[in-house]
Chains A and B, each alone.
Chain A
Amino acid sequence: MSDNPNNWPLWEVFIQSKRGLEHKHVGSLHAADAEMAIENARDVYTRRQEGNSIWVVEAEHIHASRPEDAESLFDPADDKVYRHPTFYTMPEGAKYI
Chain B
Amino acid sequence: MTEVKDLEALFQAKIDAEQKIEPKDWMPEKYRKNLVRQVSQHAHSEVVGMLPEGNWITRAPNLRRKAILLAKVQDEAGHGLYLYSACETLGVTRESTIDDLLSGKAKYSSIFNYPTLTWADIGAIGWLVDGAAIMNQVMLTRTSYGPYARAMVRICKEESFHQRQGYEIIAVLSKGTPEQKDMAQDALNRWWWPSLMMFGPHDGESAHTAESMKWKIKRESNDELRQKFIDRTVQQAEVIGLKVPDPDLKWNEERGHYDHGEIDWKEFWNVVEGNGPCNHERMKARIAAHENGRWVREAAVAYASKKARKKQAA
Instruction: Name A's B-contacting residues (CB within 8 A).
Output: 1-2, 4-8, 10, 26-30, 32-33, 36, 43-44, 47-48, 64, 66-67
Among candidates B82, B297, B303, B304, residue contacting A27 with C-beta atoms closer than 8 Å: B82
Q: Is B159 an interface residue (CB 8 A)?
A: no
Q: Is B93 an interface residue (CB 8 A)?
A: yes
Main secondary structure of the interface of A (DSSP, over half): loop
- Which residue on B lies nearest to A36, using beta carbons? B300
Instruction: Name B's A-contacting residues (CB within 8 A).
Output: 22, 24-26, 71, 74-75, 78, 81-82, 85, 88, 93-96, 150-151, 154, 158, 297-298, 300-301, 303-304, 307-308
Cα(A64)–Cα(B89), bound, Å: 13
A47-B88 in contact (CB<8A): no
Which residues of A are found within 8 Å of B93, using beta-carbon distances? Answer: 1-2, 7
Q: What are 10 A-B pairs at a CB distance below 8 A?
A: A7-B93, A7-B297, A27-B81, A27-B82, A27-B85, A28-B85, A29-B85, A33-B307, A36-B300, A44-B81
Count, A-B residue pairs, CB within 8 A: 55
B95-A32 in contact (CB<8A): no
B24-A5 in contact (CB<8A): no
Cα(A40)–Cα(B81), bound, Å: 11
Shortest beta-carbon distance from B31 to chain A in Å: 15
B308-A8 in contact (CB<8A): no
Shortest beta-carbon distance from B267 to chain A in Å: 36
Which residues of A are found within 8 Å of B308, using beta-carbon distances? Answer: 33
Among candidates B26, B74, B301, residue contacting A8 with C-beta atoms closer than 8 Å: B301
Shortest beta-carbon distance from B298 to chain A in Å: 5
Which residues of A are found within 8 Å of B94, using beta-carbon distances? Answer: 7, 10, 30
Taking A32-B303, A33-B308 as given, write out 5 further A-B residue pairs in contact, using a Cβ cutoff of 8 Å, ordered by the A residue number: A7-B94, A27-B82, A32-B301, A44-B78, A67-B24
B298-A29 in contact (CB<8A): no
B154-A27 in contact (CB<8A): yes
Shortest beta-carbon distance from B87 to chain A in Å: 11
Shortest beta-carbon distance from B98 to chain A in Å: 11
- Which residue on A lies nearest to B95, using beta carbons? A2
Among candidates A10, A36, A64, residue contacting B24 with C-beta atoms closer than 8 Å: A64
Cα(A26)–Cα(B81), bound, Å: 12
B24-A47 in contact (CB<8A): no
**Given A27-B151, A32-B303, A47 and B78 contact (CB-CB distance below 8 Å):** yes
A8-B85 in contact (CB<8A): no
Which residues of A are found within 8 Å of B304, using beta-carbon distances? Answer: 32-33, 36
